[in-house]
Amino acid sequence: MLTARELTKRYGGTTAVDSLTFDVRPGLVTGFLGPNGAGKSTTLRLLLGLDRPTSGEALVNGRRYVRLPQPARQVGALLDASAGHPGRSARAHLLALARGGGIPRRRVADVLDEVGLSDVADRRIGGFSLGMRQRLGIAAALLGDPGVLVLDEPLNGLDLDGVRWVRGLVRALADEGRTVFVSSHLMSEMQLVADRLVVVGGGRLVADAPTAELIASWSDPRVVVRTPDPAPLVEQLRRSPRGPVTVAPGADGALLVRGATPEEVGDAAHAAGARVHALYREEASLERVYLDLTGAEVRHRAAPPRSRAAAHGGTARKEDR
Ligand SMILES: Nc1ncnc2c1ncn2[C@@H]1O[C@H](COP(=O)(O)OP(=O)(O)OP(=O)(O)O)[C@@H](O)[C@H]1O
């Protein structure tokens, strides 16, 4: 179990984590989502005792990390896949960690096997690909056979096989009754693997709910329609007797219609004499919910492509338009 209670961390004038309260429960995969700079890494560092909160509490199994007896056996973490001396072999790296954490040596062979690195265990880490380093980092997290796992972006650098492997691994760990807290930027992956989601933006809690519930409650179904005759269709839709229908411009000239079914949009197009080149209901996705939830909270928003080009004194490139 992981617990944040009114957790706050300030660095000078920056509030990285702002009064966060949430629980991460055993037996579930909990995803930790937020845009760049939202405070995810800081929160994980506070939970793992790598930094001290300005105020509030960060607890593992009800205690501050520094107060945990045999912490390596209670919580395992993947924070930085580049950790580990490049001149050391994977096996030597894990043996050193086992020695430092009071963990039996035999666990090293077990975890090397579990992450699929047994064949390269005696090679230097310096020659490892990013994906192999991620696997080694996960092996290190599993070394103490802990009941709590904190994995910061475990999918980074993994190929499709690796992604599927992590998916299966986190599921299995949660099914064994462990607490699994996984941060990722890959919404589609989180949608597949996380039972619950904790979403942060600007250091604050934005949502804490079961994944399916979050997607259902925040999804505002819309119909996408492509037509070379938008004006008569929009006019017809606005006259809908069923209630308010709103139409907004979407990507590539499509129209996004809220408040009408695809059938109703099709009928309106027919009545208006507008040609239809595409018509479908947009599926609810975590990515859309996430953008809606955190849209106002993005700290490092990139300028839209056109204004970025203008800011650099250039004209927008064709692909920017
Ligand atoms: N040691 C530090 N000193 C000063 N500011 C910091 C420090 N660590 C983090 N911050 C600031 O706190 C805020 C939150 O950063 P944090 O790294 O926790 O976000 P994040 O959600 O993990 O982002 P990312 O997804 O980019 O890793 C940012 O504005 C960051 O610049």
From 181, 200, 217, the end of a domain falls on: 217
C-alpha 90 – ligand 1 centre gap (Å): 30
For ligand 1, atom 18, name the residue with the nearest CA.
39
From 281, 296, 316, the end of a domain falls on: 281
C-alpha 41 – ligand 1 centre gap (Å): 7
CB 248 within 8 A of CB 260: no
Helices (runs of H) and strands (runs of E) counted in the chain: 12, 13
Q: Which residues on neighbouring strands pair with residue 33, listed in sequence order?
A: 199
User: Is residue 40 situated within a structural domain?
Assistant: yes
Q: Which atom of ligand 1 is nearest to the CA of 43?
A: 18
For ligand 1, atom 13, name the residue with the nearest CA.
16
From 217, 243, 262, the end of a domain falls on: 217
Query: Same domain for 46 and 124?
Result: yes
Task: Tell me the per-residue pLDDT of 114-164, one tens digit each, with 9 for 90 and over.
Answer: 999 999 999 999 999 888 999 999 999 999 999 999 999 998 888 888 899
Q: Which residues on neighbouring strands pair with residue 2, listed in sequence order?
A: 24, 60
Parent domain of 225: 220-281
For ligand 1, atom 28, name the residue with the nearest CA.
37
Q: How confident is the model at residue 220 (pLDDT cuts 50, 70, 90)?
A: low
Q: Which atom of ligand 1 is nearest to the CA of 39?
A: 18
Q: Which atom of ligand 1 is nearest to the CA of 203?
A: 14
CA distance 100 to 232: 72
User: Is residue 308 situated within a structural domain?
Assistant: no
Query: Same domain for 103 and 158?
Result: yes
Number of residues that make up the chain? 321
Task: Tell me the per-residue pLDDT of 13-53, one tens digit each, with 9 for 90 and over.
Answer: 999 999 999 999 999 999 999 888 889 999 999 999 999 99
CB-ligand 1 contact for 315 (6 Å cutoff)? no
CA distance 19 to 135: 33
Distances in Å between the alpha carbon of 230 and those of 167, 235, 242, 250, 279?
A: 43, 9, 20, 12, 13
Task: Tell me the per-residue pLDDT of 159-188, one tens digit each, with 9 for 90 and over.
Answer: 888 899 999 999 999 999 999 999 987 777
CB-ligand 1 contact for 34 (6 Å cutoff)? yes
Q: Which atom of ligand 1 is nearest to the CA of 300?
A: 29
Q: Work out the mean pLDDT of the chain and round it to a whole number.
A: 87
